[in-house]
Amino acid sequence: MAQQCSDWPAALPTRSQESRGQIRSRMKDSLTLLHRVSAHPDSRCWFLAWNPTGTLLASCGGDKTIRIWGKEGDNWVCKSVLGEGHQRTVRKVAWSPCGNYLASASFDATTCIWMKKNDDFEMETHREDSMDRKRKTCLDYRLYDSAERQGFQKQCVTTLEGHENEVKSVAWAPSGSLLATCSRDKSVWVWEVDEEEEYECVSVLNSHTQDVKHVVWHPNQELLASASYDDSVKLYHEEEDDWVCCATLEGHTSTVWSLSFDQSGEQLATCSDDRTLRIWRHMTSEEEQGKKDPIWKCVCTLTGYHNRTIYDVHWSHLTGAIATACGDDAIRIFEEDTGSDAVQPTFSLTAHMPRAHSQDINCVAWHPKEPGFLASCSDDGEMAFWQYQRPE
Amino acid sequence: MECADDLFGGIVMCEERYRGEGYEEGFAEGKHIGETEGKQYGAMYGARAGSELGCYLGFASTWRLLLLPTTDEKQRKKIKILDSLIKMIQSFPTEDPTNEKLQDDLSRVRGKVKQVCSILNVQPDFSVTYEASGLSF
Amino acid sequence: MSWVRAAAAELQPPGEDEVFDEEADDMKLLQNDWKNNMEKRLKEGYADGVEAGKEQALQTGFNVGYKEGVTLLLPCGELRGTLSALVTWCEVHDADPATCARLGELLSSVTQCEDNLVKSLSSIHRITQPSDISSALEDMDLTSCTKPSSEGACNGGQDCLLNQESHSTSFSRCQTVQQLSNVMKHELDLILRDTIALVQENNMSADLFSYLQMLKTKYCFRAADHV
């Protein structure tokens, strides 16, 4: 059953000085519910990640497990449960650019790397034969794990240790040879993986003064961005064989929970406990050409749309739409107004789904191949799938 | 009235003189107190810095010597990172607590130490608690 | 404050002496008021002066203390780091358990030494003796644990309190930073000697042996016992 999107709120949201958006008068039907799935029952569902081809969705939760989901016909089916890796909540998962590896960040202070053994689910028949053989030989029936069947190794390939406490996020660089993790211990770690699948710590960055909530890589450069409880966003790049913080983005007045680059990597969306969504732009000018450190400026602040903390933001690389996950249980979509000035862009709210979930929404994730297809997950343990259509 | 003005002026002058005398005496005493207090705080902060940096230096220098020279690429990488940590500590402004870059440099050293421990695959506990002063690093 | 009265009297127009004579009680009150007033100014000035003097001296005092603290703890820290490295090296290479245990003990010793050092340093500074008294104490050499001389060592033997008393006591008996430093060097030297012996026994890197010897020299630990 499709849910209707709400009518335009009675009170107009306030605008910041930096942004004067157009008012959209029609938002009905722009966001439609397709499916709702109980992903991590009796627990929180913390994060969702689509694999690069969009055939699989990884979810992770407070029940310490990672689940791999795939579509079978009209249904979302759990293809794998990776439950042997972590001792505590799994907070984030991330697929490698090649799609063969999954990294998971946990409150148990470790990051696990899982390897997908086969990438062809159509080979299931063959798999089952070997599984039957295994079933005959293994002594404990519980050792037969659906993970094996669906092609994920039951044990994680590598465990990355070093953080002093909860790992909050993990992200893979577009090259596939670098990984970043961040933690409540205020540090950001950069890891390098070689051809032999060995991971080595390349740098430990102590630039933030508080809990680091999220890390993301630039879509096409080796530039790393982190968001923190210290209200700032920091950017890092490699300089003379060492990683350094090359920029600090200040403006939010409370914890920055998440961040997302647009497709070009020239813009960055950040969301915060201060209930605003900010858009930052990479400034390039002739004078800056020679300088090593990039300059980023806040070019738009969206205030008044969210009633609670904004926990996640995701910028679609297909359509340019920005989705937000909010503590008021609603999903919102924003789009840049056509013809708006690149240096002073304006954005409008194009969809608003209140009560999208029954509790705080922790994550929103655009499908990498299907325009407008969105997944969300919540503290209520559920994940939901939506179709977004930009209103006329 | 002229005499009243003069008298008033005299009083003010008097007040200033007394205030001034008091000030000078207080200043000398305050200087002594400040020096002592400052020294106390400084000694504790210095102790922490000396202890921490000394520890990292000893740790890195020792490991550097325990890793035998080799053609193994991985081992050479470890040696290179150890060398860069040692260099970082040796160039640390230990004598000057007012150096602005102190905190940043200390963060960098700490980060490097963590990296070294990660690549050596060791988890030493460098923390020290000093019961008396209530300081723990 | 007779000069005040004299000054006031000077400024009095002639012929008003009777006023003073008649209002003798009022005069006393005025004098008291005056006295109180001036005392107040004195106190205010004093308080302001203390604040200003403190502010000026705090940073310079801090810098002096900082250098002192760094210099004192650096050798201790370096030895602790060295032992930590040896302990972790043994763990990685699955070395002989007896050696591991011994190294662990030495690490605990140096950590304990550091703790005592900091405790004593803290209490030295808390004693707010005027500087002339403390230097007199030094001259009198009231603490028999070490001589505060350039030699930096006591002669050992039965008379030496260091041998008889526990480490923490010898630290706590120190009244100056110099004495602390001497005690520390003695303690660290003992630990370092044991470490060197252990390294030799286990045929660890020759470079490491030289490094440990170098530490001895670097921090002017006692070269050898005078028997």
Comparing CB atoms, the residue among C7, C52, C65 nearest residue B39 is: C65
What would the mean pLDDT of C52-57 be, rounded to a whole number?
92
- Residue A284: which region, alpha, beta or left (left: phi > 0; alpha: psi -120 to 50)? beta
The distance between the two most distant Cα atoms of chain C, rounded to a whole number of Å, is 108
Does C205 sit within 8 Å of B66, measured CB to CB? yes
- Nearest partner of A277 among A318, A329, A313, judged by Cα: A313
From chain B, the residues in CB contact with C78 under 8 A are 54-55, 57-58, 61
Q: Is 50 exceeded by the pLDDT of residue A51?
A: yes
Query: In A, residues 217-246, which contact B (CB 8 Å cutoff)?
Result: 242
Whole-angstrom Cα distance, residue B90 to residue C192? 22
List, in sequence order, every residue forming a beta bridge with A254; answer none if it has no partner: none
From chain A, the residues in CB contact with B114 under 8 A are 162, 187, 201, 204
Whole-angstrom Cα distance, residue A14 to residue B122? 54
Q: Is A248 on the interface with B (CB under 8 A)?
A: no
List, for residues C62-88, the tens digit of each pLDDT value.
999 999 999 999 999 999 999 999 999
From chain B, the residues in CB contact with A161 under 8 A are 118
Whole-angstrom Cα distance, residue B110 to residue B55? 11
Which pLDDT score is estimated for B35?
92
**Where does the pLDDT of residue A196 fall: very low under 50, low under 70, confident under 90, or very high at 90 and above?**
confident
State percent of chain A over pLDDT 70: 81
Which pLDDT score is estimated for C7?
56
CA angle C134, C135, C137 (to 5 degrees): 65
Does A202 sit within 8 Å of B114, measured CB to CB? no
Asked if residues B15 and C41 have their Cβ atoms less than 8 Å apart, the reply is yes
From chain A, the residues in CB contact with B84 under 8 A are 242
Does B114 sit within 8 Å of A187, measured CB to CB? yes
Least confident of A150-159, A261-270, C101-110, C162-171: C162-171
Which pLDDT score is estimated for A124?
25
- Nearest partner of C72 among C154, C171, C2, judged by Cα: C171
Least confident of A26-30, A99-103, A324-328, B99-103: A26-30
Element (H, E) at C60: helix C24-92
Asked if residues A178 and A188 have their Cβ atoms less than 8 Å apart, the reply is no
Q: Is B114 on the interface with A (CB under 8 A)?
A: yes
List, for residues C173-183, the tens digit of each pLDDT value.
888 888 888 88
Helices C24-92 and B2-66, packing angle to 10 deg: 10
Does B132 sit within 8 Å of C204, measured CB to CB? no
From chain A, the residues in CB contact with B78 under 8 A are none
Q: Which chains touch C (3+ CB pairs under 8 A)?
A: B
Asked if residues A179 and A190 have their Cβ atoms less than 8 Å apart, the reply is yes
Highest mean pLDDT range out of B39-43, B90-94, B127-131, C129-133?
B39-43
Which pLDDT score is estimated for A130?
42
Give how far B84 is from chain A: nearest CA, Å.
Answer: 10
- Closest-CA residue of C relative to B67 is C205
Which pLDDT score is estimated for C153?
43
Show the 3-state SS of chain A.
CCCCCCCCCCCCCCCCCCCCCCCCCCCCCCEEEEEEEECCCCCCEEEEEECCCCCEEEEEECCCCEEEEEEECCEEEEEEEECCCCCCCEEEEEECCCCCEEEEEECCCCEEEEEECCCCHHHHHHHHHHHHHHHHHCCCHHHCCHHHHCCECCCCCEEECCCCCCEEEEEECCCCCEEEEEECCCCEEEEEECCCCCEEEEEEECCCCCCEEEEEECCCCCCEEEEECCCEEEEEEEECCEEEEEEEEECCCCCEEEEEECCCCCEEEEEECCCCEEEEEEECCHHHHCCCCCEEEEEEEECCCCCCCEEEEEECCCCCCEEEEECCCCEEEEEECCCCCCCCCCEEEEEEECCCCCCCEEEEEECCCCCCEEEEEECCCEEEEEEECCCC
**Where does the pLDDT of residue A126 fall: very low under 50, low under 70, confident under 90, or very high at 90 and above?**
very low
**Where does the pLDDT of residue B72 fall: very low under 50, low under 70, confident under 90, or very high at 90 and above?**
confident
Which pLDDT score is estimated for B52?
95
Which pLDDT score is estimated for A93?
97
Does A205 sit within 8 Å of B114, measured CB to CB? no
Residue A204 has φ and ψ, to the nearest 5°, of: -120, 115
Highest mean pLDDT range out of A319-333, B39-53, B62-76?
A319-333
Residue A40 has φ and ψ, to the nearest 5°, of: -130, 85
In this prediction the pTM is 0.80
Complex-level ipTM: 0.83
List, for residues C187-218, the tens digit of each pLDDT value.
999 999 999 999 888 887 888 888 998 988 88
Which pLDDT score is estimated for C46?
94
Give how far B77 is from chain C: nearest CA, Å.
Answer: 18
**Where does the pLDDT of residue C138 fall: very low under 50, low under 70, confident under 90, or very high at 90 and above?**
low
Whole-angstrom Cα distance, residue C17 to residue A351? 97
Written as six digits, the tokens of C106 are 């030495």
Q: Is A206 on the interface with B (CB under 8 A)?
A: yes
Position with higher pLDDT, A355 vs B72 = A355
* 3-class DSSP state of B135: strand
Place of tokens 């890589």: A217
Give how far A234 is from chain B: nearest CA, Å.
Answer: 15
Query: Within a 10 A sphere around the Cβ of A27, how many other Cβ atoms?
Result: 19
Which pLDDT score is estimated for A223?
97
Q: Is 90 exceeded by the pLDDT of residue C50?
A: yes
Comparing CB atoms, the residue among B77, B111, B117 nearest residue A187 is: B111
DSSP state of C13: P
Give how far B123 is from chain A: nearest CA, Å.
Answer: 8
Highest mean pLDDT range out of A143-157, A297-311, C25-39?
A297-311
Position with higher pLDDT, A136 vs A74 = A74
List, for residues C144-154, the tens digit of each pLDDT value.
434 334 343 44
List, for residues A201-249, the tens digit of each pLDDT value.
999 999 999 999 999 999 999 999 999 999 999 999 999 889 999 999 9
Which pLDDT score is estimated for B3?
64
How many CA atoms lie less than 13 Å away from B131 in the CB half-sphere?
5
Comparing CB atoms, the residue among B38, B62, B63 nearest residue C60 is: B38
**Where does the pLDDT of residue A21 fall: very low under 50, low under 70, confident under 90, or very high at 90 and above?**
very low
List, for residues A164-178, the tens digit of each pLDDT value.
999 999 999 999 999
What would the mean pLDDT of C31-43 be, rounded to a whole number?
89
List, in sequence order, every residue forming a beta bridge with A296; answer none if it has no partner: A282
Comparing CB atoms, the residue among B42, B50, B121 nearest residue C74 is: B50
What would the mean pLDDT of A125-133 be, rounded to a whole number?
38
Whole-angstrom Cα distance, residue B108 to residue B91? 12
Task: Identify from B114, B117, B122 which residue to disrupt to test chain A contact, counting A C-beta atoms within 10 A and taking the largest count.
Answer: B114
Cβ pairs B/C, distance under 8 A: 290
Written as six digits, the tokens of B46 are 């210095």
Element (H, E) at C84: helix C24-92
Whole-angstrom Cα distance, residue B54 to residue B137? 13
- Closest-CA residue of B relative to C79 is B58
List, for residues A62-79, the tens digit of each pLDDT value.
999 999 999 999 889 999
Place of tokens 């963060």: B107
Which pLDDT score is estimated for A289?
59
Does B48 sit within 8 Å of C77, measured CB to CB? no
Which pLDDT score is estimated for B1?
53
- Residue spans of alpha helices (H) in chain B: 2-66, 73-90, 102-120
Q: Mean of the per-residue pLDDT values for chain A?
A: 85
DSSP state of C145: S
Position with higher pLDDT, A57 vs B68 = A57
Task: Identify from B77, B88, B107 which residue to disrupt to test chain A contact, counting A C-beta atoms within 10 A and taking the largest count.
Answer: B107
Does C46 sit within 8 Å of B22, measured CB to CB? yes
Residue A214 has φ and ψ, to the nearest 5°, of: -155, 145
- Nearest partner of A236 among A277, A188, A201, judged by Cα: A188
Position with higher pLDDT, A113 vs A144 = A113
From chain A, the residues in CB contact with B102 under 8 A are none
Q: Mean of the per-residue pLDDT values for chain C?
A: 77
What would the mean pLDDT of C112-136 be, rounded to a whole number?
72
Give how far B103 is from chain C: nearest CA, Å.
Answer: 15
